[in-house]
């Protein structure tokens, strides 16, 4: 993994790494006129992408207007090689070139990306086979126990300091929030999410819960604090666990919450509830059966399980750039693949809720705070890193808004369990979100 | 199809048929002692079935007690051949012998069936291959357009008079009710189901709805009456449609409801909502892609679809007896197979709710009324028919209680539709069920 970009910023005994691959900026400015075949390539590229309303501004100041429509966005190509890189592998190159500053965007980045996603989604159904082949996504990285540690370290150990700049200050939730009403703050919506999850699990004081992939431990603390349950929370990101333990200690929850530094596959014991928020994306399809078997043996006979994960409407590889540069090993399952986890364990699916547009709103809130802290972040890492993360956040907003990504909360139980909630009315008895602080 | 049992009862211009196959009763009583190998067969059969707490009472009065446990139920075998028939193909023979009166049950029939289902579900995981092979379920009947008509006629054209004896008097709903609170009457719970479905579809006055498989037309009338929407409701059962049209006319809903006698595959036009309650079980896996494409072209860009169907936790053939004698062509999809319908059309799954135990309660209400009308029903058909239907209702209660069957309500939209309900709170703003009349 490329670690060429040194971290510049402060430290707290943490050693954040920046694994974003750096494509070099051309070191001499290019001012030559574009060749005819280069203009032809751009026109071809745009047609293959379904003719989105995009104008190209080239290295020498020349402009290529979109065919038959008014441009809504401008893409600036800083050098001719950027064009060739983009055409050869747009999935990967778009993000890399943007991160390197060799492709620039005028207009709202997430709106441009949404327009692109919608347009490509339509267009690719008519792509010739050879184009599918050369532009195809790659296979995601392995998610075996040792690779998982590396994958998770790559992203989640960038430094708590970094994530604190743009995640909610309530519980450091790096997953989809629940905007029960449209004007909630990020903090309210994240607490509403935690409450919504607890209600779906029908927690009662004295119950035991196991959590697979606990992030900074917010859900575990929320459950202990508000529902009086005992939680075993697993994570392999040491930096997150350090934070989680300190917070639990501060809040006097040590007797209820046990943060375990271990792979979820090593969960032992039996619990009233099994919960995992935003980990399934990192599990990998090859491990679904094992996960299913793990839940099967970890859940008491009348227990309830909840998996919350980014997903798809149909099977599709993760965007190559996100998978390579941001989330190694990530794969969001289609709803059908998700259900295979339940089928394998002979579980009964009780409830599926799709919070897709809630994730777009969550990401917009993150992006606002990220942008407010751009200078700090560039000082901690560098501008390449900042651009890459801006692309990741904007692209994710776009993907959820365009329907390329979904957010599924799936509740299930053992197949022969008749101790079930009668219906879902109790989830809505009173608001999940706290009053604004 | 066997139609040997003549209908005896009254008529209303309807021509109900009884298609239940009749196994002959032995015409001479058998009093010989059971052979040793017959007792061995019973013990073997019970062990293969996971040793349920069942005692056998044989034709000559001999008793075979269950091994190592107290019997909770008694099965009476009236003749030796019944034993051989049962051992050769228990899936099919249990229902046939019960219908023929050659296998009798002491104790609650649905409780016996539930104990059997739970016990066999565990045991079959250890069955040797050869046993799986000889006891295997058969393939369901075809559900092409012409066969579908025959399949539906077999069951739904038994006579409105017959179904009126035991379905709710509110809207003749022959699908799972919604027991929002545990003590609802059947009528209240069926109206609550209709209301719950309307809310999930977010109906507003002036919208258009298409319904695939409308039964006696209750949902279409409910929607028109209470939501002021226009409904095109398709069905291929003429008797059901006659009733549906008469009722709509009586209620002055002719301008809003159009009942169409045609296969759902011939639906045309575009609608704000696509709904189908209890038809998917009859569609057949081979037709799922076509159904998906049909919904795709029938649903407006911001429309919502709802499919309500019996389902499974994992793929499994329909019980052979039910499929052969009661519901030709029936196949309840696993949750994963169900999702393939959504994946094929690139739909976004918004909401899945499992109402499994609601169906057990619905069936119990039906069974009570059925039992209260046993004499009338035997007079309309014969006792063989009455026993077969008792077995069907009791077996279905058992299957839902044991977790062999599920009831899924799945809500979905086009994948690129962002005009979605924010969350599900509005479904629970006030009770769905009316006050008791």
**DSSP secondary structure letter of residue A112:** H
* Residue B233 · residue B259 · CB < 8 Å: yes
From the list B180, B344, B425, the residue facing A428 with the nearest CB is: B425
- Of B317, B123, B313, nearest in space to A346 by CA: B313
What is the C-alpha separation between B377 and B395, in angstroms, rounded?
19
Please tell me the least confidently modeled range out of A189-203, A254-268, A320-334, A402-416: A320-334
* pLDDT for position A285: 94
* pLDDT for position A139: 62
Question: Of A118 and B323, which is predicted with more confidence?
Answer: A118
* pLDDT for position B240: 93
- Of B262, B326, B333, nearest in space to B294 by CA: B262
Instruction: Please indicate whether, in this complex, the C-beta atoms of B340 and A336 are within 8 angstroms of each other.
Output: yes
Does the pLDDT at position A237 exceed 70? yes
Nearest residue on chain B to A432, judged by CA atoms?
B425
Nearest residue on chain B to A410, judged by CA atoms?
B352
Given the DSSP bridges, would you call strands B54-57 and B63-64 parallel, antiparallel or unpaired?
Answer: antiparallel
Nearest residue on chain A to B415, judged by CA atoms?
A403
A185 close contact with B: CB closer than 8 A: no
What is the C-alpha separation between A291 and B122, in angstroms, rounded?
22
> Which residues 240-299 on chain A approach chain B with CB closer than 8 angstroms?
none
A123 close contact with B: CB closer than 8 A: no
From the list A179, A417, A425, the residue facing B428 with the nearest CB is: A425
Domains and CATH numbers, chain B: 36-134 (3.30.1050), 145-428 (3.40.50.150)
A367 CA to centre of own chain: 13
A68 close contact with B: CB closer than 8 A: no
* pLDDT for position B436: 79
Does the pLDDT at position B289 exceed 70? yes
B420 close contact with A: CB closer than 8 A: yes
* pLDDT for position A25: 58
**Could you report the per-residue pLDDT of B63-103, keeping only the tens digit for each?**
999 988 899 999 999 999 999 999 999 989 999 999 999 99
What is the C-alpha separation between A103 and A82, in angstroms, rounded?
7
3-state class (DSSP) for residue B107: coil
Instruction: Please indicate whether, in this complex, the C-beta atoms of B416 and A403 are within 8 angstroms of each other.
Output: yes
Instruction: Please indicate whether, in this complex, the C-beta atoms of A423 and B357 are within 8 angstroms of each other.
Output: no
* pLDDT for position B26: 58
Q: Which contacts qualify for B123-127: CB closer than 8 Å, 24 or more apart?
A: B123/B48, B123/B49, B123/B50, B123/B51, B124/B50, B127/B48
Residues contacting B435, CB < 8 A, separation 6+: none
Instruction: Please indicate whether, in this complex, the C-beta atoms of A179 and B422 are within 8 angstroms of each other.
Output: yes
* pLDDT for position B178: 98
**Structure tokens given for A54:** 């995009």
Question: Of B367 and A125, which is predicted with more confidence?
Answer: B367
Section B221-242 average pLDDT = 96
Nearest residue on chain B to A350, judged by CA atoms?
B354
Instruction: Please indicate whether, in this complex, the C-beta atoms of B353 and A351 are within 8 angstroms of each other.
Output: yes
pLDDT confidence of B411, banded at 50, 70, 90? very high
B364 close contact with A: CB closer than 8 A: no
B125 close contact with A: CB closer than 8 A: no
* pLDDT for position A4: 33
* pLDDT for position A156: 65
Residue with tokens 């329909």: B318
* pLDDT for position B199: 98
Question: Of A380 and B154, which is predicted with more confidence?
Answer: A380
Section A250-261 average pLDDT = 98
From the list B336, B348, B422, the residue facing A313 with the nearest CB is: B348
Nearest residue on chain A to B431, judged by CA atoms?
A425
Does the pLDDT at position A19 exceed 60? no
pLDDT confidence of B410, banded at 50, 70, 90? very high
Nearest residue on chain B to A407, judged by CA atoms?
B350
A87 close contact with B: CB closer than 8 A: no
**Could you report the per-residue pLDDT of A299-347, keeping only the tens digit for each?**
999 999 999 999 999 999 888 888 888 888 889 999 999 999 999 999 9
Does the pLDDT at position B142 exceed 80? no
Contacts of A430 in chain B (CB under 8 A): none
Residue B132, burial from CB neighbour count under 10 angstroms (0-12, 13-18, 19+):
exposed
pLDDT confidence of B24, banded at 50, 70, 90? low
Residue A146: CA atoms inside 13 Å, Cβ hemisphere, count? 0
Section A23-38 average pLDDT = 78
- Helix (H), strand (E), coil (C) string for B238-288: HHHHHHHHHHHHHCCCCCCEEEEECCHHHCCCCEEEEEEECCHHHCCHHHH
Contacts of A407 in chain B (CB under 8 A): none
Does the pLDDT at position B437 exceed 80? no
pLDDT confidence of A436, banded at 50, 70, 90? confident
* pLDDT for position A13: 39
* pLDDT for position B319: 86
Q: Torsion over CA of A399, A404, A408 and A414, rounded to 10 degrees?
A: -150
Nearest residue on chain A to B352, judged by CA atoms?
A352
- Of B139, B138, B140, B92, nearest in space to B329 by CA: B140
A273-288: b (≥16 Cβ within 10 Å) or e: bbbbbbbbbbbbeebb
Please tell me the least confidently modeled range out of A134-138, A305-309, A366-370, B103-107: A134-138
From the list B348, B352, B418, the residue facing A401 with the nearest CB is: B418
Instruction: Please indicate whether, in this complex, the C-beta atoms of A180 and B425 are within 8 angstroms of each other.
Output: yes
- Of A416, A383, A280, nearest in space to A341 by CA: A280
Section B238-253 average pLDDT = 96
A364 close contact with B: CB closer than 8 A: no
Instruction: Please indicate whether, in this complex, the C-beta atoms of A416 and B425 are within 8 angstroms of each other.
Output: no
Question: Of A130 and A217, which is predicted with more confidence?
Answer: A217
What is the C-alpha separation between A16 and B36, in angstroms, rounded?
78
* pLDDT for position A23: 60
Nearest residue on chain B to A358, judged by CA atoms?
B422
Sheet holding B63-64, edge to edge: B63-64, B54-57, B73-77, B103-106
User: What percent of chain A shows pLDDT beyond 90?
Assistant: 78
**Could you report the per-residue pLDDT of B163-201, keeping only the tens digit for each?**
999 999 999 999 999 999 999 999 999 999 999 999 999
Contacts of A314 in chain B (CB under 8 A): 343-344, 346
What is the C-alpha separation between B110 and B367, in angstroms, rounded?
10
Highest mean pLDDT among A28-37, A44-53, A139-148, A352-361: A352-361
Residue with tokens 């706290």: A434
User: What percent of chain B shows pLDDT beyond 70?
Assistant: 89
How far off is chain A from B110, nearest CA to CA, in Å?
16
Cα four-point dihedral sign A217, A221, A223, A229:
positive
> Which residues 318-337 on chain B approach chain A with CB closer than 8 angstroms?
334-336
Contacts of B403 in chain A (CB under 8 A): 348, 415-418
A342 close contact with B: CB closer than 8 A: yes
**Could you report the per-residue pLDDT of A58-74, keeping only the tens digit for each?**
999 999 999 888 999 99
**Structure tokens given for A46:** 């745009």
User: What percent of chain A shows pLDDT beyond 70?
Assistant: 89
Sheet holding A54-57, edge to edge: A63-64, A54-57, A73-77, A103-106
Contacts of A351 in chain B (CB under 8 A): 352-354
pLDDT confidence of B4, banded at 50, 70, 90? very low
For chains A and B, CB pairs below 8 A equal 123
Question: Of B27 and B362, which is predicted with more confidence?
Answer: B362
pLDDT confidence of B120, banded at 50, 70, 90? very high
Instruction: Please indicate whether, in this complex, the C-beta atoms of B313 and A340 are within 8 angstroms of each other.
Output: no
**Could you report the per-residue pLDDT of B45-58, keeping only the tens digit for each?**
999 999 999 999 99
**Would you list the DSSP string of A175-201?**
S----SSTT--HHHHHHHHHHHHHHHT
Cα four-point dihedral sign A167, A172, A175, A178:
negative
* pLDDT for position B139: 62
Question: Of B122 and A218, which is predicted with more confidence?
Answer: A218
B43 CA to centre of own chain: 32
Interface probe, candidates B301, B418, B420, B426, chain A, greatest A C-beta count within 10 A: B418
């Amino acid at each position: 993994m490329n670690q060429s970009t040194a971290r510049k910023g402060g430290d707290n005994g943490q050693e954040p790494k920046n694994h974003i691959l750096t494509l070099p900026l051309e070191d001499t400015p290019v001012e030559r006129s574009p060749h005819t075949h280069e203009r032809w390539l751009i026109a071809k590229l745009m047609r293959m992408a379904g003719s989105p309303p995009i104008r190209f501004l080239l290295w020498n100041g020349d402009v290529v207007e979109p065919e038959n429509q008014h441009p809504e966005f401008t893409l600036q190509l800083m050098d001719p090689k950027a064009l060739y890189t983009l055409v050869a592998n747009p999935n990967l190159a778009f993000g890399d070139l943007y991160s390197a500053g060799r492709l620039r965007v005028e207009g709202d980045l997430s709106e441009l990306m949404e327009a692109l996603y919608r347009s490509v989604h339509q267009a690719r159904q008519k792509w010739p086979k050879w184009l599918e082949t050369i532009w195809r996504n790659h296979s995601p990285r392995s998610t075996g126990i040792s690779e998982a540690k590396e994958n998770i370290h790559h992203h989640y150990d960038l430094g708590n300091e970094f994530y604190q700049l743009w995640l909610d200050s309530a519980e450091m939730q790096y997953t989809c929030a629940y905007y029960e009403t449209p004007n909630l703050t990020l903090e309210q919506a994240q607490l509403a999410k935690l409450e919504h999850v607890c209600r779906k699990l029908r927690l009662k004081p004295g119950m035991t819960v196991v959590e697979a992939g606990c992030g900074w431990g917010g859900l575990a603390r929320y459950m202990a604090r508000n529902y009086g349950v005992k939680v075993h929370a697993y994570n392999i990101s040491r930096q997150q666990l350090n934070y989680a333990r300190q917070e639990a200690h501060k809040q006097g929850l040590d007797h209820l919450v046990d943060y375990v530094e271990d792979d979820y596959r090593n969960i032992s014991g039996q619990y009233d509830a099994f919960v995992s928020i935003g980990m399934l994306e990192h599990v990998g399809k090859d491990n679904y059966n094992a996960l299913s078997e793990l839940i099967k043996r970890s859940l008491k006979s009348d227990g309830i399980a909840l998996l919350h994960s980014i997903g798809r409407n149909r099977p599709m590889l993760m965007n190559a750039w996100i998978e390579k540069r941001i989330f190694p090993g990530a794969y969001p399952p289609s709803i059908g693949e998700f259900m295979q986890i339940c089928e394998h364990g002979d579980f009964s699916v009780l409830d599926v809720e799709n919070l897709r547009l809630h994730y777009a709103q969550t990401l917009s809130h993150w992006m606002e705070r990220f942008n407010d802290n751009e200078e700090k972040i560039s000082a901690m890492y560098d501008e390449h890193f900042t651009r890459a993360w801006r692309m990741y956040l904007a692209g994710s907003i776009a993907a959820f808004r365009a329907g390329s990504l979904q957010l599924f909360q799936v509740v299930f139980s053992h197949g022969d369990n008749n101790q079930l909630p009668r219906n879902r009315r109790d989830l809505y008895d009173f608001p999940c979100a706290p009053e604004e602080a």
